[in-house]
Amino acid sequence: MKEALLYSIRERFWTLAQGRAKIYMGNILIKSNGNTIEVHEGISAKEVLLRAGCDPKDLVAAKVRFRGEEGTWVLKDLDFRITDEAEVEPIYVHTKEGLEILRHSTAHVMAMAVKELFPSAKVAIGPAIEDGFYYDFDYERSFRDEDLPRIEAKMAELVKRDIPFRREELEIKEAIRFFEEQGEPYKVEILKEIEDSRVSIYRHDNFVDLCRGPHVPSTSYLRAFKLHKVAGAYWRGDERRQMLSRIYGMAFATEEDLKEHLQRLTEAQRRNHIRLGQELELFSIHEEVGPGLVIWHPKGMMLRYLLEQFEIGEHLKRGYEMVRGPEILKTELWMKSGHFDNYRENMYFTNVDNQSYGLKPMNCLSHMLIYKSKIRSYRDLPKRYFELGVVHRHERSGVLSGLLRVREFTQDDAHILCTPEQLDGEIKGVLSFVDDVMKIFGFSYELEISTRPEKSIGTDEEWELATNALKKAVEDLKFSYEINEGEGAFYGPKIDVKLRDALNRKWQCATVQCDFTLPERFDLVYIDQYGQRKRPVMIHRVILGAIERFVAILIEHYGGAFPLWLAPVQVAVLTVADRHIPYAEEVVRLLSEKGFRVQPDFRNEKLGAKIREGEIQKIPYLLVIGDKEVEGRSVTLRQKGKATLATIKLEEFVINIEKESQQKGVGYR
């Protein structure tokens, strides 16, 4: 009887493989390598994992899921005590969760170092971010780059001391009193907004910080970090609040990982789109024009044109119709849509003839009015309206950055109006479109589904329907995804596509948004097969996103060396002497008639200087014309990325370049 009871307990309360434990309290049972071990109540998460066969090397924290809360994993420190039925899994430092914990712990150690070196500094917040961390400080002067080596040296000293991180819980009033006594007003402000009755703090030696945790067991786990930048940051991002000093750092599991990251940063600087944009004569931004406003130079405008023509062709192939709306619309329309209440801080407004207008930050209103211009049948749907629409958004000056963040930009915006039954297929169609385009440019990508934000419109039922529609489409297509809580658009949830470039950096570009709300507000209808008025669903979507931003990403992805089909100048024709100009002009004319983008360079300069300039401009082909080329009706070519010169017949070169242009970018050149 006793053996039978034990068996039933095991069957019900543990599913134990090596490295994972499911625990029945009273008699805690851990199965590892076929053996069942009984342990005491109150055992630490670390001991549970070690007894379950986990490798202690690089173990930094644990995931715990309590009975009755299936599906909810909670991250805990390794010294967390198990006092209830639960499952426990390890978190290793090389995992996404492990690196985030490592980086947040490093931020705490940096704050401790700053407080030891600059005792009057007040601490604000210090989260982990991708590849590292930052911490904001209020000090009598702004921190400078020359302060970083000193702070970093102090951090190394604290790491060597192997100081343990200790978690404590305090009543909220006690915590407020403690940080008031410590002279930390930013922590007090945060605490006064917390609704919980108790909060956690972490101590390492004499430094105490307000934090949910978890953290690595001790400072010795922080093996590879570097401080690299100081910037200003308003408290809570509010320009009306105190300007703080933000210190950025990097942290990795190993020195090798940090070294690789520093090498990527060096390469990223070499590929920086602002620097390359000037060198390649693509665009400029002038203070006298205004921040965040781009002037496109001839080569940059050609690059834009090529992208836009490519996009138009791809949309027409997929059944989209091209449309265009005005750049300003009456403010009453923005009120009706909900933009005025939920988005106006990002908009510009003006008055004309005593009438208020808003510059459009999005293109959806005009597209809905096009749909509403006539009665629509279910047989007309789906309607796919596409616009390369110029929009304006009021971005804060502190976040403007080259082409990546601007105030005027062009979106490859489309709105699909369809029946609820068509919704699944249309979402999948957009995702397939995204996949096709990302492959053309050589991007891998990840998906996030962003859910309802606090500031939003529509009913809970509409949001649930929209969110489930996005999830189903993604899951049916076998894409993995993450949930980004509370980051949806104010009118609906969305799929965000995060592409990865040649340096493995993530960029937000394409998005698919599912909207049941705006069709209701604008009374959009169609007549179904039974003659009944029904409400369509609207999908908001972009493929590249903002053209300006995508150009910036392409510049850095390719390092300015665009593939042949996308290069603003595909061929440069260089003469050795003036007597070679007539034949060179013939070469330019022939290539231009074939549709290639050709740049003549007939200057009275040394050939070596012309070649160097062509290489700096990253032109795919440089054609040298001298005596032997004139005599043999040939060209000597230097191909981008190759040091050797080859002399071939002009006709052969034309055949080769036509073939290459068709192979790059699915036939576009």
Q: Which residues are catalytic?
A: 364, 393, 411, 413, 415, 494, 540
Q: What is the 8-class DSSP label of residue 630?
A: H
Spatial CB neighbours of 15, under 8 Å, sequence gap ≥ 6: 22
d(CA 624, CA 612): 13
Structure tokens at 120: 């009057």
What the block records as the tokens of 5 is 């009871």
Distance of CA 97 to the CA centre of its chain: 18
Scored b (16 or more CB within 10 A) or e, 563-596 reads bbbbbbbbbbbbbbeeebeebbeebbeebeeeeb
Nearest C-alpha neighbor of 497 from the set 553, 566, 555: 553
DSSP code of 579?
Answer: G
Q: 563 is written with which tokens?
A: 């593939």
Given the structure tokens 């055992």, which residue do they identify?
43
- Integer-rounded Cα Rg, in Å, for the chain is 30
Tell me how far apart the alpha carbons of residues 666 and 458 are, in angstroms, rounded to a whole number: 41
φ/ψ of 112, rounded to 5, equals -60, -40
Q: How far is the C-alpha of 71 from the C-alpha of 459, rounded, in Å?
A: 26
- Count CB atoms within 10 A of the CB of residue 47: 17
Contact predicate 101/110, CB 8 Å: no
Give the residue ranges of DSSP H helices in 271-345. 273-279, 298-317, 331-337, 339-343
- Give the number of C-alpha atoms closer than 13 A to the C-alpha of residue 244, restricted to the C-beta side: 22
DSSP E strand boundaries for 419-562: 444-450, 481-484, 494-500, 506-515, 526-527, 533-534, 537-546
- Torsion sign over Cα 98, 100, 103, 107: negative
SS3 of the chain: helix, strand, coil, percent, to 5: 40, 30, 35
Residue type, 138: D
